[in-house]
Amino acid sequence: TILVLDFGSQTSHLILRRLRSLGVFAELLPCTTKIADLSWKPKGIVFSGGPSSVYDEGSPHVDPAVFDLNVPILGICYGCQEIAWRIDSKNVARGAAREYGHADVKIAKVNEHVDRLFAGLGDEIPVFMSHYDKLVSLPTDFVVIGATKNSEYAGIAHQEKPIFGVQFHPELEHTPRGTDILRNFSVDICGAQPNWKMGDFVQLEIARIRELVGDRALVLGAVSGGVDSTVGAALMREAIGDRFKAILVDNGCMRLNECEQVKETLGKHLGINLTVVEAGDLFLSRLAGVTEPEKKRKIIGSTFIDLFEQEAIRIEKEAENTPNTGKVEWFLQGTLYPDVIESLSFRGPSATIKTHHNVGGLPERMMNGQGLRLIEPLRLLFKDEVRAIGRQLGIHESLVNRHPFPGPGIAIRILGDVTKERVEIARQADNIFISMIKEAGLYDEISQAFAGLDTNRSVGVFGDQRVWGYIIILRAVRTKDFMSAEVFNFDNAFLANVSRTICNQVEGVARVVYDLTSKPPGTIELE
């Protein structure tokens, strides 16, 4: 096992993800973990990046005992600065400019010991940088193994000990050879065995669910039609059959025909016990006049919980009257790893970007009042891993491959306050955009695409008439993990055609624009 010590970067868990994709088992713990408290000895340790400055008072630091373990260490960004700063605090300072985005690292060939980290990568590799602070001098006993125009010490290695540091982020997709670097570190330098398999996950998880839930208890779960909740539900159904009760709350902000599709796929095809609560009008009335994105999320989250609770009480009553049936004791959440990280980060130092409404969980009164416990079979997984499991469970490819859709739905794709009319316009535009993407055979090349709506209106001319209509914002990105993303490159003729079709077919739209912002700095959703 490799230990990843987390300094609070938004991408720390991706280090884990990459290691796991190599078959190397890894665990993520806070950077402040005391080595004496560990019950196992790691084969190697990675220090993640983080938002702080090593030289500031109160910044997080590792337990110095990690260096006495005598196992290989790799510091990434802040982690690299931590290594250098511990040797001499003058080694790290604020750079002249923030370095953000693409850079080319020239690889230095020094000797067999230090060259191991970049072995097999050639003379130069493109990398992704995101830092302000940097190493301004080389720590004693270290040598330079890589440099960029802006960072003289983009890669460093101790001359004798297996300690390495990189200023860039090998865990991000935008460092294409990053996984090779992590393989060099974990397998070759640390000697970790690359034999951990995803395939074992389903059987282990089903067994774990059966053991947790026992022979009689019921499990409730919310489903949305997305791949995560569907896979979570399918796993539960596989494990405990009809004792799993799925609830779909229609919040009035779902995609065109989505509710029907969920009934068809989950109810009919997967044989899951499903109840649909139609509540669009209630959600929209509570959202009236609300523009602040976090407030929208909170309203949708709490309304969802109110309705879910009512339904839970009904199911509970029904169970009481059914012989040989236990109580509702568990609540399924389709939480994924990135949700956990971006929302209620368990790590002190990182910033909350958005509150994902499906993560906060049920209120105290349900969890403690009724004694419900959480069951989160997907908690350790990333999106592409969930898809792989969906296929293993026989879920249809069109659902497994479906672009993700946020719980608050179209409400967070409308910039400004949400009305039924605006949801309908965004929904129609989205359907046109997605249908045209599918017709062009581009759907599977894109990770997530949608049409959102700006409630500011723009003037246009249709025929001889002046119109004053909404602006539709098209967004399409490519990403593996949804933590960072690049904009999809359509050709202009395609986009012009989408624009024309939306303006012609969706009343109330005067203009269509394409969003060219990558993530970061933009997020995937508009809000």
- Please choose, out of 14-22, 143-151, 403-411, 500-508, the segment that lies near ligand XMP by the rule CB under 6 A: 403-411
SS (H, E, C) 438-503: HHCCCHHHCCEEEEEEEEEEEEEEECCEEEEEEEEEEEEEECCCCCCEEECCCCHHHHHHHHHHHH
Torsion angle defined by CA atoms of residues 323, 328, 330 and 336, in that order, rounded to the nearest 10 degrees: 100
CB of 212 to ligand XMP, least distance (A): 24
CB nearer to ligand XMP: give 84 or 437.
437
Secondary structure (DSSP) of 358-424: TTS-S-HIIIIIS--EEE-TTTT--HHHHHHHHHHTT--HHHHTPPP--TTGGGGGEES---HHHHH
Q: Segment contacting ligand XMP (CB under 6 A): 118-126, 155-163, 210-218, 400-408?
A: 400-408
Could you say which residues in the range 223-282 bind ligand XMP, by CB under 6 A?
none
Q: Which residues in the 272-331 window bind ligand XMP by CB under 6 A?
A: 297
Give the range of 103-111, 235-243, 311-319, 401-409 binding ligand XMP by CB under 6 A: 401-409
Mark residues 472-491: x for contact with ligand XMP by CB under 6 A, - for none: ----------x---------
Task: Determine the Cα–Cα distance for residues 504 and 469; give it in Å rounded to an integer.
Answer: 12
Contact 265, 237 (CB under 8 A): no
Q: What is the DSSP letter of 43?
A: S
Q: What is the distance between the alpha carbons of residues 134 and 294, in angstroms, rounded to a whole number?
A: 34
Interface residue with ligand XMP, options 406, 410, 411, 475 (CB under 6 A): 406
Of 113, 263, 298, 519, the one binding ligand XMP (CB under 6 A) is 519
The answer to whether the beta carbons of residues 78 and 116 sit under 8 Å apart is no
* Residue 395, CB-side half-sphere exposure with 13 Å CA sphere: 32
Is residue 523 a contact point for ligand XMP (CB under 6 A)?
yes
Neighbour-count burial of 108, counting CB atoms closer than 10 A to its CB (0-12 exposed, 13-18 middle, 19+ buried):
middle
Q: What are phi and psi of 76, to 5 degrees?
A: -115, 125
Total chain residues near ligand XMP (CB under 6 A):
15
Q: How far is the CB of 408 from ligand XMP (least distance, A)?
A: 5
* 356: region left, alpha or beta (phi > 0 left; psi from -120 to 50 alpha): beta
Binding segment (CB under 6 A) for ligand XMP, from list 23-31, 109-117, 310-318, 356-364 = 356-364
Stretch that binds ligand XMP, among 127-135, 232-240, 253-261, 349-357 (CB under 6 A): 349-357
Residues numbered 447 to 466 that lie near ligand XMP (CB under 6 A) are 448
Name which of 328 and 332 has its Cβ closer to ligand XMP: 332
Site string for ligand XMP, 169-208 (x = CB under 6 A): ----------------------------------------
11 near ligand XMP, judged by CB under 6 A = no
Contacting residues for 55 by C-beta, under 8 A, at least 6 apart: 85, 89, 92, 93, 133
Owner of token pair 């200023």: 167
Query: Which lies closer to ligand XMP via its Cβ, residue 2 or residue 299?
Result: 299
From 115, 180, 385, 525, residue interacting with ligand XMP (rule: CB under 6 A)? 525
> Across-strand partners of 332?
221, 375
Nearest-Å Rg of the Cα atoms of the chain is 25
Q: Do residues 53 and 85 lie in contact, with contact meaning Cβ atoms separated by under 8 Å?
A: no
Q: Which of 18, 296, 356, 387 binds ligand XMP (CB under 6 A)?
A: 356
> Which residues are catalytically annotated?
77, 169, 171
- Identity of the residue, 99 or 339, whose beta carbon is nearer to ligand XMP in the bound complex: 339
Nearer to ligand XMP, 59 or 448 (CB): 448
Minimum Å distance from CB 204 to ligand XMP?
25
Q: Where are the alpha helices (DSSP H) in 149-291?
A: 178-183, 199-213, 227-240, 258-262, 280-287
Cα–Cα dist 291/284, whole Å:
13
Q: Are the C-beta atoms of 4 and 16 separated by less than 8 Å?
A: yes
Nearer to ligand XMP, 133 or 342 (CB): 342
* Contact in structure between 51 and 349 (CB atoms under 8 Å): yes
CB of 122 to ligand XMP, least distance (A): 33
At closest approach, how far in Å is the CB of 409 from ligand XMP?
9
Single residue of 42, 60, 408, 452 touching ligand XMP by CB under 6 A: 408
Nearer to ligand XMP, 155 or 334 (CB): 334
Binding of residue 350 to ligand XMP (CB under 6 A): no
Based on CB atoms, which residue is closest to ligand XMP, 20 or 297? 297
Among 131, 169, 183, 354, interactor with ligand XMP by CB under 6 A:
354
Residue 8 near residue 350 (C-beta atoms within 8 A): yes
Residue 32 or residue 343: which is nearer to ligand XMP going by CB?
Answer: 343
- Residue 235 Cβ vs ligand XMP, minimum distance, rounded to whole Å: 18
Q: Give, for 119, the enclosing helix (H) or strand (E).
A: none
- Residues forming contacts to ligand XMP in the complex (CB under 6 A) are 297, 354, 356-358, 404, 406-408, 448, 482, 519, 523-525
